[in-house]
Homo-oligomer: A and B are copies of this chain.
Amino acid sequence: MAVQKMSQLFVRTLREDPADAEVPSHRWLVRAGYIRRAAPGIYSWLPLGLKVLAKVEQIVREEMVAIGAQEVRFPALLPREPYETTHRWTEYGPNLFRLKDRKGGDYLLGPTHEEMFTLMVKDLYSSYKDLPLTLFQIQTKYRDEARPRAGLLRGREFIMKDSYTFDMDAEGLQASYETHRGAYINVMDRLGLDYVIVKAMSGAMGGSASEEFLAIAPNGEDTFVRSPGGYAANVEAVTVVPPAAVDASATPAPLVIHTPGAGTIDTLVAAVNDTAPRADRAWTGADTLKNVVFMLANPDGTKEALIVGLPGDRDVDVKRLEAAIAPAEAVAFGDADFAAYPALVKGYIGPAKDRQAMLGKESVSGMRYLVDPRVVDGTAWVTGANVADHHVVNLVMGRDFSADGVIDVAEVRAGDPAPDGSGPLELARGVEMGHIFQLGTKYAESLGLKVLDANGKLATVTMGSYGIGISRAVAMVAETTCDERGLAWPRNLAPYDVIVIATGKDEALAVEAERIALELSVSGLDVLLDDRKASPGVKFTDAEVLGIPTVVVVGRGLANGVVEVRDRTAGTKDEVAVDDVVSRVIADVRGE
């Protein structure tokens, strides 16, 4: 490979942060000239960025091929019909880019390709002998995010590897899933990411078991929990283990009390302990039952009210709620909505009033009412009395009120018990790098993917679906390796192995720098030569911003036969005899 001269490389570093940069990776990828924004959430790749992208792509491809996956490529512009059949044309809601062609036909820009892969296998295969099968593609995908952010971390056009497995039964699917899981572990390891594998919900994908590979990052969008005993899940997937039912035979009858000014859980608890103290212990926020009203917007445009009852010391976690109600979305329950349900007394909503059910499908309000799993039979609650400035005490679940079902969407807190009994949970943040799903037969059933089994009978194929964000991985590696001076690539992903810099105006320095660059290049290294007529300071700064792992500085020391070798990540500077520099750099690059 020829030495790339910096004077000819299509790159410019910026001294200022881009105005829209929220996270370090975004800031540095733009400042170092790796990417540029073309539109919100849509980026162009400059030469340096594209080289890193290609290396990430290649790692993923190698690990896919290693598990016997075969590469294909589907279009990004897709016809509506298959997505109509699986209802995703509608369920994706505003996240889907939809368009019409010149004849008025409906198309979409593919966010994921379950439908297309299912139909392709249906087209080609017909027998159990053809399975198992694993296919993958590396392809540009589209999602019209409401809030594209953080550069490549959450884009609207992005590059993904998606793969799909096809098996005859659940056992086969489990094996395919485990194989993919292993490949993803290899990918994450080769990317050098600090990651955790967490239980996940499958969301719009359908299906059952699923796990996410989260890169641990303090500013990550996803919250996950883990326990000392090894439990790990994203917050959407955490489940509360319901406590045992309580014997309420000794619990006094409900008592309505006057609670003027008790506008917060704290003031309410104080008022109740004052007016209607509990015999065994004081009332706490965990004894209050907060009833939060949402309006759910379904993808087909219909709306439906939902009331969530949960302990007053916890809020509804919006992400957990969204995951629980998907594909519907929760929107604000406005004044007009309250007006439409006159039974609701804002601020004093409760499930019962004068022994009459106020919440629930069969109640006075007719509004769907779901409660937190902690609201088990026999538990006694302090909650709204459906009268302004009044609450009710000792309202017992199962005795004095009931619900339409359970919804597990309260915020998870550090210290909460892990559902598998493996200890208290800690909370941390991460970025979703990969997601593996056991889809089961959902897509095969709706699109009719059946093959003949060993007995000559038609059997529905069982599928898995697996994704890795390739462009996101570029950003995440940048995010976790950069520092206050710029990018700092691991050697296996760096756009160049080494950058050679001559400092000073002496022509001999430039000549020697070029000689060293050439020798390194002949030895098979990818070499950048900063041949610009710029000050040493500018060159040093740019080399650090670009994040090339090794910097060779040919400067004043050359008169004494030495040059400097800097390691961008370690921050070390070594003086090396000029005759040894090539072998030294080669050893560094190859990790010898």
Contact = CB atoms under 8 A, between A and B. Distances in A.
**Max chain B C-beta neighbours (<10 A), residue from A12, A73, A125:** A73
A135 interface: yes
Given A99-B109, A140-B140, 15 more contacts: A8-B68, A10-B72, A10-B133, A11-B124, A33-B124, A36-B120, A38-B74, A38-B75, A39-B107, A44-B73, A44-B75, A45-B73, A50-B72, A50-B73, A77-B142
B38 A79 contact: yes
B47 A71 contact: yes
Contacts of A72: 10, 44-47, 50
**Size bracket, chain A contacts:** 35 or more
Grouping DSSP codes into helix (H, G, I), strand (E, B) and loop, the A interface class, with mixed when no group exceeds half, is mixed
A195 interface: no
Interface string A41-55: 011111100100100
Contacts of A116: 38, 44
A204 interface: no
Interface string A131-142: 001010000101
Contacts of A8: 68
A546 B118 CA distance: 24
A10 B135 contact: yes
Interface of A: 8-12, 33, 36, 38-39, 42-47, 50, 53, 68, 70-79, 94-95, 97-99, 101-102, 105, 107, 109, 116, 120, 123-125, 133, 135, 140, 142, 144, 146, 156-157
Given A94-B102, A101-B97, A36 B123 contact: yes
A125 B94 CA distance: 38
A42 B76 CA distance: 9
Nearest to A74: B44
A78 B79 CA distance: 20
Contacts of A124: 10-12, 33
A98 B99 contact: yes
B77 A42 contact: yes
B125 A77 contact: no
Contacts of A79: 38-39, 42
A70 B39 contact: no
A97 B77 contact: yes
Contacts of A76: 76, 140, 157
Contacts of A133: 10
Contacts of A78: 38-39, 42
A45 B50 CA distance: 23
A183 to B, nearest CB: 16
Contact of A9 (B70, B98, B99, B120): B70
Nearest to A145: B102
Nearest to A100: B99
A99 B36 CA distance: 22
Contacts of A94: 102
A39 B110 CA distance: 13
Nearest to A47: B70
Contacts of A140: 76, 140
Shortest Cβ-Cβ A-B pairs, 7 listed:
A99-B99, A45-B73, A94-B102, A39-B79, A12-B124, A47-B70, A42-B75
